[in-house]
Amino acid sequence: MFCGDTTWRPMVTALMARCDLVAIDLRDFNHANQGCLFELQALVDLVPAQRVVLLVDNSTERDFLATTLADCSAKTSAGSPNAARQAHMRLIDLEAGEQAAIDQMLASAEPIAQASA
């Protein structure tokens, strides 16, 4: 989908609410990624943590990511599926290769699919 600056936030949150598994690409993630900051907060607010996969590599500022996730959890809305506890989302390191990442994402999705059946 093509979204402009005024429509991408409502579109991405609508998609998050409808997905069984959400993967967010956090390669090159750092303090300058304001769009990712919005998306991470939305994920914590809208999607159960076990349904979220964070894709990282050596370019990801992991300490900043950990701090950001803790901040997002602290600001979680009362209606969030993650409100009762800190969100622990699965990290998949892309350094092992794309196929390994795909295999790990599919493995993450399997329990979700079984629970939905």
- Tell me the whole-structure pTM to 2 decimals: 0.84
- Whether 47 shows a pLDDT value over 90: the answer reads yes
- What percent of the chain clears pLDDT 70, i.e. is strictly above it? 92
C-alpha pair distances (Å), 69 with each of 59, 63, 102: 17, 10, 23
10 Å CB burial of residue 38 (0-12, 13-18, 19+) is middle
pLDDT band per the 50, 70, 90 thresholds, residue 33: confident
* CB-based contact 43:16 (threshold 8 Å): yes
Task: Average the pLDDT over 86-114 and give the result.
Answer: 82
pLDDT band at 114 (very low <50, low <70, confident <90, very high): low
Q: How far apart are CA 98 and CA 71, in angstroms?
A: 29
Q: Residue ranges per domain, the chain?
A: 11-116
Highest mean predicted confidence (pLDDT) among 47-51, 57-61, 82-86: 57-61
pLDDT score recorded for residue 77 = 83
pLDDT value of position 19: 86
